[in-house]
Amino acid sequence: MPQIHFMKKTTPIIPLFKQFIKETETGKRLKKNGEKIKPGSIQNYYYVLNNLIQFSSDTKFELRICDASKLNTRELQSEKTYWKKFYQKFTEFLYKKGCHDNYVGANIKVIRVFFNYLKNDKDLFTGDFQRLFYVRKEEIEIFVLSPEQLKFLIHDKEFEQTLLPSHQRVKDIFVFGCTTGLRYSDIFLLTNKNFEQMDGEWYLKLKSLKTKTFSYIKLSPYAVTIYQKFQPQNSKATVFGQISLFNFNKSLKHIGEQAGFTASVEVSREKQGKTHQLTKKTDSTKNRFCDKMSSHMMRRTAITTLLILGMPEHLVRKISGHSHASSSFNRYVHYAQSYMDKEIEKVHSKLESY
């Protein structure tokens, strides 16, 4: 008697992905610890959704899932092949668009989260093939101010006078960030309540927006001077007012250029684990140190400066709010080490000549 074979029942992915986003937005889907998922993450889900739609229409790749609990061995094997092919084609599509490993990896990470949602929240068992999806990460070089550059921005009054008033304000906020190690998002939430004077010394006390950890930081005299310059009369007002991230970063690049931080830097990014130099021979203007100045540099500079100046790692971690296992923190340690190696080499070369 011929065997009756049932076709695999498939369900299109895009509507399910939209539902996944909706349930995240309404708070039906929460983090494991019961917190709401941040707007930034939801924004990333939308980017992934758009990439999936574009990928499907450009490559005519049908995006669908099927209930793996009802499949026989042969069908499971063909399902596995389908998902391997999806991973290969989708990542290829993103690389062709000019994306780098971090972006591609971030997309894949969201897709894995989506599959876990199908399994845990929707009881749709798709076969756990997302475990085959490899999330690539690349180490992007970290650009930080050297202690000399930081000193220049803090103390050179002549230079400060050459800046526009709006740029002077950005420089002050930047210097404040470079010495306290705060994230950009935390700096612009500071009010007078975050500043406390005890026995003539000023302290900054705050809870990080990102990691929810409390820190208590003793302020340097010039950080106090900056605070007092901007200190609002109203206790509810934020100390540094409002400024868009775009304008902040744009101003920083101008300030860096005026300060003469124009040495050229090599920039490389990774695609599929291979390093590509981004330095275009024709356009050398965009590969100067000042062009790399951004809000991220504040926190990185603070951490590496403390390490370079010899503060023990566990204390720097406490100030920066990094967990013990943080891989990003280890990059700062490597950076500080290579800086110190270069300084030692300078001493050695002075001793060479007689």
76-86 confidence digits (pLDDT tens): 898 999 999 99
Q: Which of 45-49, 268-272, 303-307, 324-328 has the lowest mean pLDDT?
A: 268-272
Tell me the two tokens of residue 25: 């937005």
Q: Tell me if 140 sits within 8 A of 286, measured CB to CB.
A: no
Give me the chain's average pLDDT, please. 85
In sequence order, what are the beta bridge partners of 207?
214
Alpha-helix residue ranges (DSSP H) falling in 1-146: 13-25, 39-59, 73-96, 101-120
Percent of residues, the chain, with pLDDT higher than 70: 89
- Give residue 278's pLDDT: 58
pLDDT tens for each residue of 232-280: 998 889 999 999 989 999 999 999 999 999 988 876 666 666 766 655 4
- Position 4 scores a pLDDT of 45
Q: Which of 31-45, 216-230, 328-342 ranks highest by mean pLDDT?
A: 216-230
Average pLDDT over residues 219-234: 93
303: nearest Cα among 290, 289, 322: 322
- Which has the higher per-residue pLDDT, 318 or 192? 192
Q: Is 281's pLDDT higher than 50?
A: no
Q: Which residue has the tokens 């106090």?
A: 224
Strand 10-12 versus strand 201-207 pairing type: unpaired
Supply the DSSP symbol for 70: G
pLDDT score recorded for residue 156: 94
Identify which has the larger pLDDT, 143 or 207. Answer: 143
Kindly state the percentage of the chain with pLDDT values over 90. 40
User: Averaged over 153-168, what is the pLDDT?
Assistant: 94
**pTM, 2 dp:** 0.62
pLDDT in the model for residue 134: 80
User: 78 near 25, Cβ under 8 Å?
Assistant: no
The two most distant CA atoms of the chain are separated, in Å, by: 98
Task: Label residue 138 by pLDDT band (50, 70, 90).
Answer: low
Parallel, antiparallel or unpaired: strands 10-12 and 64-66: antiparallel
Closest CA to 8 of 83, 64, 58, 54: 64
Q: Calculate the dihedral angle through the C-alpha atoms of 343, 344, 345, 349, rounding to the nearest 10 degrees.
A: 110
